[in-house]
Amino acid sequence: MEKKQILVIEDEEDILALIHYNLVKAGYRVECATSGEEGLEKAASLQPDLLVLDLMLPGINGLEVCRRLREGHGGEAAIVMLSAKGEEADIVAGLELGADDYVTKPFSPQILLARIKAVLRRREQGPSDSGPLPVLSIHELVIDAGRNKVIAAGNEVELTLTEFRVLQLLAGRPGWVFTRAQIVDGVRGEGYAVTDRSVDVQIVGLRKKLGVCGAYIETVRGVGYRLKE
Ligand code: CA
């Protein structure tokens, strides 16, 4: 199988060197860029499978790079953002611009590698919400989208339609972080009044009704929610 290509955009040279070393060791082809401009050029010419993108860059910052890439200047590369602690607003903005995941600094190379592998794996599988309505099974949780039925640890659970849709959205991409705005977007369109605030209320209700399986829904502080992989 051909090696996956990763483009790392990071201006701090010691961090860049650390990432480069670990990705090469893990068997990836790795290219580097130290500014947003250089990163965008290389993304366009190399068409990498994945980008590791630092948000704090001189010149064109990471969010702007992310936006331009998603407007079609860099192909369909997956994006894993690097951000400092306390940049939750930027993380949320990046995820909403179409970044796939993020790692906060300081991070261990193992964590970054694990995120990269997971993102590439999900990319290969494609979104699981295409095709006929699936039956999703995650640990002890079974979601039958065709029948609007949920079974948690062997017990059938009564959910409201909105709760069901929130759960279905999260379960469609286990491990994926959804921002509140993405959950609102995913659930809206069917005439339900859903707001950022009411997403939190739906989650509280869901966790309670799912019993032991409620713990599968994880809060990602300052960012949103995800279903445990
Ligand atoms: Ca930086």
- Domain coverage including residue 193: 130-227
CA 25–ligand 1 middle distance (angstroms):
23
Could you tell me if 21 and 103 lie in one domain?
Answer: yes
34: left (phi over 0), alpha (psi -120 to 50) or beta: alpha
Closest by CA position to 203, among listed 176, 147, 165: 165
CA 221–ligand 1 middle distance (angstroms):
22
Could you tell me if 200 and 116 lie in one domain?
Answer: no
Alpha helices in the chain (DSSP H): 13-25, 36-46, 62-68, 88-96, 109-125, 161-172, 180-187, 196-210
Specify the pLDDT at position 126.
59
Domain end residue (candidates: 73, 102, 125): 125
CA 222–ligand 1 middle distance (angstroms):
21
100 in helix, strand or coil? coil
Could you tell me if 155 and 216 lie in one domain?
Answer: yes
**Confidence check: pLDDT of 229 > 90:** no
Query: Rounded distance, CA 176 to CA 101, Å?
Result: 7
* pLDDT tens per residue across span 97-123: 889 899 999 999 999 999 999 889 877
Query: Rounded distance, CA 34 to CA 17, Å?
Result: 11
CA 90–ligand 1 middle distance (angstroms):
13
Specify the pLDDT at position 73.
62
Please state whether beta strands 141-144 and 135-138 pair in parallel, antiparallel, or not at all (unpaired).
antiparallel
Could you tell me if 139 and 34 lie in one domain?
Answer: no
Percent of the chain with pLDDT over 90: 56
Specify the pLDDT at position 97.
87
Mean of all residue pLDDT scores within the chain: 88
CA 51–ligand 1 middle distance (angstroms):
15
**Confidence check: pLDDT of 75 > 90:** no
Domain end residue (candidates: 101, 125, 149): 125
Are 42 and 31 in contact by the 8 Å Cβ rule? The answer is yes
Mean predicted confidence (pLDDT) in 161-183: 89
Specify the pLDDT at position 191.
53
CA 53–ligand 1 middle distance (angstroms):
9
Indicate which CATH number applies to the domain containing 110.
3.40.50.2300
Could you tell me if 49 and 119 lie in one domain?
Answer: yes
CA 146–ligand 1 middle distance (angstroms):
46
pTM: 0.71
Mean predicted confidence (pLDDT) in 22-29: 97
Could you tell me if 120 and 51 lie in one domain?
Answer: yes
CA 71–ligand 1 middle distance (angstroms):
23
Q: How far is CA 122 from CA 66, 79, 125, 164, in A?
A: 19, 12, 5, 23
Could you tell me if 101 and 154 lie in one domain?
Answer: no
Domain end residue (candidates: 125, 158, 179): 125
CA 55–ligand 1 middle distance (angstroms):
7
Lowest-confidence segment of 16-20, 85-89, 163-167, 219-223 by average pLDDT: 85-89
**Confidence check: pLDDT of 39 > 90:** yes
Count: domains in the chain: 2
Indicate which CATH number applies to the domain containing 147.
1.10.10.10
Could you tell me if 58 and 116 lie in one domain?
Answer: yes
DSSP letter at 97 equals T
Could you tell me if 20 and 101 lie in one domain?
Answer: yes
Could you tell me if 104 and 172 lie in one domain?
Answer: no
Could you tell me if 118 and 138 lie in one domain?
Answer: no
Which range of 28-32, 43-47, 170-174, 202-206 scores highest in mean pLDDT? It is 28-32
